[in-house]
Structures are given as C-alpha cells and as structure tokens.
C-alpha cells in the first residue's frame, strides 16, 4: 500500500481544486509545490494592507452557475466588475469597444453613427485586400474594426504583448473583435464575476484545508521517490519537462512585473489601464486595491500599490505564462500529448500540462467534470 492515493504536483487552481474534490471522496492527497508558497499564479501578497496579485491580475468570471456556487462555497466573492481603460498618448478610451469608446474616438452619439464609421473603414480595408483573405493580424484587424480602432487600441499593445509586428503575426490570434453598440464597459459577457473577499489566498486555503502540503519541494529533484509515494500522480507542471524535453522545449511568452508603492489613496482610479502606444514599454498598469476596495473604501487606505507589466520573450528559467500556439509548438505539444494519453497513473491538468491558455473558471469546471464522471 502506498502512503497516498494522489500525489499532486503543483498547488495552483487545478491542483488545489483536485485535492479538495479528492478529499471529499475520502482520498488521501499530498500536494507539493516548488515555490515557497501555495496557490500557484493566483497567489497574493499583502502589501500596505492591499492584496497584490503577484503573478498578474486574476478576475474570476463564469456563466456556469455550478462553478460559481462551488467557488463561493469556499469563500464569498465580491462585486468587482472588470472595466479596463486604454490610454493612447494621454487620451483615454473605454474597453471593450462600445459606444463610450466610439464617442471618445469620433464624437458619435448613436449606434447608427458609430456603425457607419466602422463600416466605412472596414470597406477601405476590404478594397486594399482586393478579394484576398487576410494574411496576418493587421489585415484581419483592419477588416474587423477599421483603421482608427486598430491603430490606437490594438496595434501597439499587440506588438508589445507578442514581441512581433502585427504584420508578422497570424490573423487567427484575433479571430473576432467584439463591437458593442451599447454604453457598456463590462469587459466580460459572463453572468458572474468577482474577486474572493479577502483575496485569492483565502480560496487556496479553503480548497487545501485538511490536505497535506509541502512547499519549496521540486518533484524533479527526487523524482523516483515522489513517484513511489502515491497510487496516482496529478501533474500540473510543464508537460515537456515531465518527459525530459525529449522532443524539445515548448515556447511561451512571459511577463515581468515592476511593483511600486505610492503615497496616495488612488493612483489611476481603475484596476486596469492598458497602454496601447508602442512607445511606452509596458502593456498595462494594475492598481490592486481597486479589485477589493470600492467607493469611499479606496480613500481609507492612504497607500496604493501598482504593477507595471512588461511582456517579454520567454527563456529557460523564466516563468512560463502564455503558450505560443503556433503551428510549430502545437505540433510539438501533440507529440507529448500522445505520450500523456497512454499514461494510466498520471493525470495531466492545467495551463502548463496541457499547453493551453485557461481562464480560471475553465480549470474549476474541468476538475468538477473529472469527479462528476468518476
């Protein structure tokens, strides 16, 4: 008899949710994580009384009532609504593209006026294509929303995010660009959204209550031992690393964060401000207090913490954030997935193990589905 039913490698949202559901079924789990803390990328650190999202802003949103009820059964979520602002050369625009955006850009006040401007510019882009299909992201975006929106709100931000010219990026990256002909700044279309009251660490702590955990513990430093302690492994790390990079390394984009503490109650008046011009090196500034403080609460905390985000090319040893789902990497991942599909005692799950960008609700939904089918 092995000591554990499951060894769970990684304490992020997939691993923590899996441990919670397994515990409910009476299974004995051990969760290990190579970082010095639990929670993976949803980990927050308390700075000046503010929960700072250490690995980038995380906003929970879903239309799945079962998923929403589940996370709220662990910790109550607040009413935060994601309404980012774009700053282009000192002028502010609401996101996603809606009537507020079009008024700020053109001064139009009716949906028909806005649509007329957009269709006019889309028609100009179609003429330039001369009946050909878009060959890159720039051509695709121009065909979807026209020149003004593309040049002010898409081009610079996208090139910083991917480290490549829009003319060098595939069009499928922007399959569609939603245009709302209403005055609605809510970024997500989902029915539910919010942030855990008290921060994401409360969600992690709730999911892992009663579960044995170890931090600062690298699975690969003593792999033979860790493989011997449990009947099954739940692996949430990098799938190529699990297989010793035998086919080569998968590529990622990564993000670097610069934190600043400011002696003021309110730095930018919003949780998320995107900087869409190419000349500013960071992609956005996050002001963390706005995720959990609203109205007069903001002024009661006389300090604020911001994070400037810099998107960079990933190199070995850096944090792996966004899979590069181009043809080369997708083909490489398929080779690793073929190996994974033939594993009887290993469950691969999450962004790194499946080489796929996931929103948080997708992760929770996937784990709940695993146990509802078991």
Q: Is 55 helix (H, G, I), strand (E, B) or coil?
A: coil
Interhelix angle 65-74/360-372, nearest 10 degrees: 100
Q: Which one of 79, 133, 176, 279 is the catalytic residue? A: 176
User: With contact defined as beta carbons under 8 Å apart, do 327 and 309 qualify?
Assistant: no
Q: Examine the residue annotation and report whether 65 is marked as an active-site residue of this protein.
A: no
Cβ-Cβ contacts under 8 Å for 76 (sequence gap 6 or more): 196, 197
Has 284 been annotated as catalytic? yes
Taking only Cα atoms into account, the Rg of the chain, rounded to an integer number of angstroms, comes to 22
| Annotated catalytic residue within 35, 117, 202, 253 | 253
Separation CA 200–CA 16 (nearest Å): 12
Separation CA 46–CA 161 (nearest Å)? 28
Q: How many CA atoms within 13 Å lie on the side-chain side of 310? A: 10
**Catalytic one of 309, 321, 355, 365:** 309
Among 120, 299, 334, 357, which one carries the catalytic annotation? Answer: 357
Category of 146 on φ-ψ map: left (φ > 0), alpha (ψ -120 to 50) or beta = left
Distance CA 186, CA 33 (A): 35
Q: What is the DSSP string of 118-139?
A: HHHHHHHHHHHHTTPPP-SHHH
Choose, from 45, 48, 190, 359, the residue flagged as catalytic.
Answer: 359
Annotated active-site residue 176? The verdict is: yes
309 as an active site residue: the answer is: yes
Of 139, 180, 251, 355, which one is the catalytic site residue?
180
> Is there a contact between 283 and 160 (Cβ–Cβ < 8 Å)?
yes
Catalytic residue (one of 192, 284, 292, 351): 284
Q: Residue 104 region, left (φ>0) first, then alpha (ψ -120 to 50), else beta?
A: alpha
Calculate the CA 359 to chain-centre distance: 6
Q: Name the residues annotated as catalytic.
A: 176, 180, 253, 284, 309, 357, 359
């Amino acid at each position: 008899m092995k000591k554990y039913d499951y060894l769970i490698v990684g304490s992020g949202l997939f691993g923590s949710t899996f441990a919670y559901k397994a515990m409910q079924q009476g299974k004995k789990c051990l969760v290990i994580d190579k970082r010095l803390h639990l929670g993976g990328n949803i980990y927050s650190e308390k700075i000046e009384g503010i929960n700072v999202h250490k690995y980038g802003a995380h906003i929970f949103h879903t239309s799945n009532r079962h998923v929403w009820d589940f996370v709220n059964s662990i910790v109550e979520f607040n009413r935060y609504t994601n309404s980012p602002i774009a700053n282009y050369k000192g002028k502010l625009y609401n996101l996603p593209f809606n009537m507020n955006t079009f008024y700020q850009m053109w001064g139009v006040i009716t949906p028909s006026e806005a649509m007329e401007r957009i269709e006019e510019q889309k028609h100009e882009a179609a003429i330039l294509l001369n009946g050909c299909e878009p060959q890159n992201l720039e051509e695709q975006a121009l065909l979807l929303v026209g020149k003004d929106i593309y040049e002010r709100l898409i081009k610079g931000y996208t090139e910083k995010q991917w480290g490549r010219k829009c003319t060098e990026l595939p069009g499928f990256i922007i399959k569609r660009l939603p245009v709302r002909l209403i005055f609605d700044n809510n970024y997500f279309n989902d029915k539910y959204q919010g942030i855990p009251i008290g921060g994401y660490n409360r969600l992690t702590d709730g999911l892992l209550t009663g579960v044995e955990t170890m931090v600062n513990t690298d699975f690969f430093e003593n792999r033979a031992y860790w493989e011997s302690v449990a009947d099954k492994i739940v692996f949430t790390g990098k799938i190529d690393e699990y297989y010793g990079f035998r086919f080569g390394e998968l590529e990622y984009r990564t993000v670097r964060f610069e934190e600043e503490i400011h002696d003021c109650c309110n730095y930018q008046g919003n949780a998320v401000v995107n900087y869409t011009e190419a000349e500013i090196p960071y992609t956005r500034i996050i002001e963390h207090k706005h995720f959990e403080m609203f109205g007069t609460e903001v002024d009661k905390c006389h300090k604020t913490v911001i994070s400037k985000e810099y998107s960079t090319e990933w190199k070995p040893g850096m944090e792996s954030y966004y899979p590069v789902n181009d043809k080369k990497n997708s083909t490489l991942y398929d080779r690793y997935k073929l190996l994974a599909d033939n594993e009887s005692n290993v469950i691969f799950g999450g962004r790194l193990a499946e080489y796929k960008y996931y929103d948080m609700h997708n992760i929770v939904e996937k784990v709940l589905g695993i146990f509802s089918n078991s």
